[in-house]
């Protein structure tokens, strides 16, 4: 019996130890639970919420771009897009094939979608196509039961109502590239777009606005259950341009048949760019919709460079439009405008002949007659007397040879040569013959259409250093609150300016030798003055001159001269200036002056400088091209 009693007592002690251990364990567990659930409850509630609630960025509406009268040039419109949720679609490839029977889904898009399916979680929506038409939306909605995992989503996209007409000024928006990521989380949102060129790029931060946010409840896998709170972002600021879109459309239509051309219209007193057209152009909406690789290659490989804004980035020899600069430099050196040169069709310098465009010559001409008839020999002689450095100084005062700080990217400086420039750049001393060539706006001289418009404005506005602008006021500022712009004098005497202006009036309005008489505005209240220009793109050899120089129309297109014209109106109180270049267009009087006439006439009819009251004139159809028998 004793051994059994001992075993019973041992069992009882062990049971007591076990019960005591369990009591201690449960006491510790209870204490821990009390600590976590009572003492630390606030802390763990916060941690639980952070795991349960996800904070998501909301892209803000992009700010509008409007013209000087408030007409929208860049807006946001609803964007209907197709999205697919892989976990709901089950077989994504098969579902894309089924979708492709209703709307186009090309092979490039299919490969992109399948790549994203492999990279993302199965419940994350993937964009298939954007910018659907109503017909496409309807087809998908009707067939929705047969398209599990596919749905229509609604967002916003950028839209340019005037398409190609204002593309180079406005620029465009497109998806953010990897090298453009700055750490701003807004840039990493799927489908977010930024400005890539023009005003869209220059004022991207202001147009972009600030992001909103939404608090959404998610489960352990990250799937959204419900939205708890939303704070919409701050829309981007509105940008007011100086452009008159009605005039812009008119100018774009007027040059649409030219292969390559540029036109700038500017207010001579304020510097407001009223129209800036470069052709060929491009459709900015195509970039926002998603440009295919093939379409992009077509654009960048186009020899007519539709993506280049030729008005600010095209650099051309100004030809005879530069002769006013040479004349002003001479007048400043007290060279009398009455001094005459005898043009026999050429001038001799050493063993070289420098030819006038008129083979038989102009005979004896003074300064005003030389401007009127665009006599090259007169300006060879004048340049030789003045010297290249003084010509360069006058050029810079008139706005040539450097950028003008226009408020869009891409502006180029052109080139105004000097003796020091050539020595430093090429390492060869300047030659006197090069001065003669500079005297007629050829050789090393390069200008942009914008610079030529500014040059003309500074000539006719009283000699003030007007600078061009494309925006009426900084983004977010009411243009009505902007004070009038003031500009310093460039130091031209009124006498010198009036001599040049008289010569420009003779160019257009004198039937006896005026090179642009055929393009005059017959209404005296709107009459214009100006200067034609023809810029050679290749040197004409002596052998060719002996055989007889071929006319532009008989040469291959790329060997034809550039046609230029600068002008202003109205003649009695200049307000508007224009510069026109038609690449390989031939003579300025035949190709460029008729365009300038139509543009200045339309500008005055619209009167864009009038107080902005929200009115926009309706532009009439462009008139037919006129021609002149003069070669320059």
Count the Cβ atoms, other than its own, within 10 Å of residue 161. 14
Residue (of 366, 387, 388, 392) closest to 377 by Cα position: 366
d(CA 503, CA 192): 55
CATH number of the domain bearing residue 540 = 3.40.710.10
**For the chain, what is the domain count?**
2
Q: Please provide the distance, in angstroms rounded to a whole number, between the alpha carbons at the two ends of the chain.
A: 140
Asked if 383 and 493 sit in the same domain, the reply is yes
**Residue-level pLDDT at 546:** 52
Asked if 90 and 127 sit in the same domain, the reply is yes
pLDDT at 445 over 90: yes
Whether 51 is covered by a domain: the verdict is: no
Asked if 146 and 61 sit in the same domain, the reply is yes
**Residue-level pLDDT at 377:** 96
- The share of the chain scoring above pLDDT 90, in percent, equals 55
What is the three-class DSSP state of 262?
A: strand
**Residue-level pLDDT at 314:** 96
* pLDDT per position as a tens digit, 278-323: 999 999 998 877 777 788 889 999 999 999 999 999 999 999 999 9
Query: Residue 389 corresponds to which tokens in the numbers above?
Result: 């450095």
pTM to 2 decimal places: 0.82
Whether 318 is covered by a domain: the verdict is: yes
Asked if 492 and 528 sit in the same domain, the reply is yes
Give the β-pairing of 261-267 and 239-240: unpaired
Whether 619 is covered by a domain: the verdict is: no
* pLDDT per position as a tens digit, 334-350: 999 999 999 999 999 98
Across 531-553, average pLDDT: 66
pLDDT at 215 over 70: no
CATH number of the domain bearing residue 83 = 3.90.1310.10
Which helix H or strand E contains 126, and what residues bound it?
Answer: strand 126-129
Count the Cβ atoms, other than its own, within 10 Å of residue 516. 32
Which helix H or strand E contains 425, and what residues bound it?
Answer: helix 419-425
Domain end marker among 240, 271, 289: 240
Can you tell me which residue has the tokens 């005296």?
524
Which helix H or strand E contains 159, and what residues bound it?
Answer: strand 150-159
Query: Residue 154 corresponds to which tokens in the numbers above?
Result: 């609604």
Across 135-153, average pLDDT: 86
pLDDT at 624 over 50: no
pLDDT at 11 over 70: no
- Active-site positions? 320
C-beta of residue 626 within 8 angstroms of C-beta of residue 594:
yes
The residue segments making up the domain with residue 470 are 245-606
Asked if 392 and 511 sit in the same domain, the reply is yes
**Residue-level pLDDT at 540:** 60
Asked if 470 and 495 sit in the same domain, the reply is yes
Whether 29 is covered by a domain: the verdict is: no
Asked if 231 and 277 sit in the same domain, the reply is no
Asked if 412 and 532 sit in the same domain, the reply is yes
Asked if 211 and 279 sit in the same domain, the reply is no
Across 563-577, average pLDDT: 96
Asked if 347 and 477 sit in the same domain, the reply is yes
Asked if 260 and 207 sit in the same domain, the reply is no
pLDDT at 618 over 50: no
């Amino acid at each position: 019996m004793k051994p059994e009693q001992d075993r019973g007592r041992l069992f009882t002690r062990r049971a007591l130890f076990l019960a005591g251990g369990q009591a201690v364990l449960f006491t510790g567990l209870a204490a821990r639970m009390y600590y976590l659930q009572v003492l630390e409850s606030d802390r763990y509630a916060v941690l639980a919420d952070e795991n349960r609630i996800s904070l998501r960025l909301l892209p803000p509406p992009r700010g509008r771009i409007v013209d000087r009268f408030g007409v929208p040039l860049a807006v946001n419109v609803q964007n209907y897009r197709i999205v697919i949720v892989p976990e709901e679609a089950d077989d994504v490839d098969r579902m894309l094939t089924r979708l492709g029977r209703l709307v186009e889904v090309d092979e490039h898009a299919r490969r992109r979608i399948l790549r994203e399916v492999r990279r993302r979680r199965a419940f994350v929506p993937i964009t298939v196509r954007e910018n659907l038409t109503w017909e496409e939306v309807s087809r998908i909605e009707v067939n929705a039961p047969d398209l599990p995992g596919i749905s229509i989503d609604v967002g916003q996209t950028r839209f340019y109502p005037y398409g190609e007409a204002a593309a180079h000024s406005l620029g465009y928006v497109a998806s953010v590239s990897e090298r453009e990521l700055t750490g701003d989380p807004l840039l990493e949102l799927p489908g977010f777009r930024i400005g890539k060129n023009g005003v869209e790029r220059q004022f991207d931060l202001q147009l972009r606005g600030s992001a909103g946010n939404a608090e959404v409840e998610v489960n352990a896998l990250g799937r959204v259950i419900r939205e708890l709170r939303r704070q919409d972002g701050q829309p981007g600021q509105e940008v007011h341009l100086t452009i008159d879109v009605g005039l812009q459309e008119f100018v774009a239509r007027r040059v649409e048949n030219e292969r390559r051309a540029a036109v700038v219209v500017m207010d001579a007193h304020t510097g407001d760019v009223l129209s800036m057209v470069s052709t060929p152009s491009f459709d900015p909406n195509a970039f926002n919709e998603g440009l295919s690789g093939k379409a992009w290659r077509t654009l960048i490989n186009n020899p007519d460079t539709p993506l280049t804004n030729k008005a600010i980035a095209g650099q051309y020899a100004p030809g005879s439009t530069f002769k006013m600069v040479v004349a002003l430099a001479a007048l400043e050196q007290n060279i009398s405008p009455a001094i005459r040169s005898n043009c026999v069709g050429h001038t001799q310098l050493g063993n070289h002949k420098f030819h006038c465009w008129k083979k038989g010559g102009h005979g004896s001409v003074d300064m005003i007659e030389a401007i009127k008839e665009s006599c090259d020999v007169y300006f060879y002689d004048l340049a030789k007397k003045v010297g290249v450095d003084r010509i360069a100084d006058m050029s810079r005062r008139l706005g040539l040879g450097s950028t003008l700080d226009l408020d869009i990217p891409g502006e180029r400086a052109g080139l105004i040569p000097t003796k020091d420039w050539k020595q430093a750049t090429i390492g060869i001393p300047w030659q006197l013959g090069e001065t003669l060539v500079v005297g007629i706006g050829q050789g090393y001289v390069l200008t942009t259409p914008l610079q030529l418009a500014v040059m003309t404005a500074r000539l006719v506005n009283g000699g003030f250093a007007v600078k061009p602008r494309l925006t009426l006021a900084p983004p977010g500022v009411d243009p009505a609150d902007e004070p009038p712009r003031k500009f310093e004098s460039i130091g031209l005497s009124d006498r010198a300016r009036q001599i040049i202006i008289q010569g420009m009036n003779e160019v257009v309005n004198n039937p006896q030798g005026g090179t642009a008489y055929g393009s005059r505005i017959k209404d005296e209240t709107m009459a214009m003055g100006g200067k034609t220009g023809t810029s050679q793109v290749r040197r004409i050899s002596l052998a060719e001159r002996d055989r007889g120089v071929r006319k532009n129309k008989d040469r291959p297109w790329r060997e034809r001269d550039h046609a230029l014209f600068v002008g202003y109106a109205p003649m009695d109180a200049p307000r508007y200036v224009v510069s026109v270049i038609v690449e390989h267009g031939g003579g300025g009087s035949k190709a460029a002056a008729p365009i300038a006439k139509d543009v200045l006439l339309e500008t005055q009819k619209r009167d864009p400088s009038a107080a902005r009251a929200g009115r926009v004139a309706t532009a009439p159809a462009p008139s037919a091209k006129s021609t002149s028998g003069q070669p320059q």
